[in-house]
Amino acid sequence: MKIKNVVCAMILMSSLTTSSLVFAKDVSVKKMADAIFAVIEADRSIYTKNIVQRLQNEEEVITADEHWKEESALILPAQMLRLAAERVNEKKAGFNYSLLSLWAINKQNKPRTELEIKALNAIKDKKENFYGEETLGGKKYYTAAYPDIAVSKACIDCHNDHIDSPKKDFKLGDAMGGLIIRIPLD
């Protein structure tokens, strides 16, 4: 599958600049999904390791909290990703993404489609990307799933200690869920 004559401008988070634009005459949908994931994963990992892990766990200056506004705390990495995904969706960027898990703390982050369930089951052990196609609401999508890896102690402590977490034994390097990217094919 090729997306013809596409100029892909991935302005996902504030870390991107004009020099980060990707220009291509023919970009496969898989390559596009992989590029989008690379930017999201880099931003998420950097925020988690250099902001949350450092300020909360190492320097103990401020906490990260799911009620970050009310508690004057850092926004959780998963919440940051969800807000960015909502912003991308508002911009009608030609794709959407979400963070899902078989062990979601927030019920809205559980898989809803057969392909999401299949993808999350496939990546939880293998930690390999998963690709497929699905039809949702009469529209055909290329769906890519990437393992969401626990990259810091902050990740595992938050999930293992959370009262609503259905899984309490995450370790560094575990796939805690998956980042799902959908690109319409129609």
- Report the number of distinct structural domains present in the chain: 1
pLDDT digits (tens, 9 = 90+) for 94-134: 999 999 999 988 888 999 999 999 999 999 888 899 999 99
DSSP for residue 54? I
pLDDT digits (tens, 9 = 90+) for 44-74: 989 888 888 888 888 888 888 777 888 888 8
CA-to-CA separations, 22 to 9, 18, 128, 155, in angstroms, rounded = 6, 9, 25, 31
Q: Which two three-digit tokens encode residue 181? A: 């990217």
Q: Which two three-digit tokens encode residue 103? A: 């062990």
Q: Please give the residue range of the domain that contains residue 25.
A: 2-184
In whole angstroms, give the CA distance from residue 148 to residue 124. 9
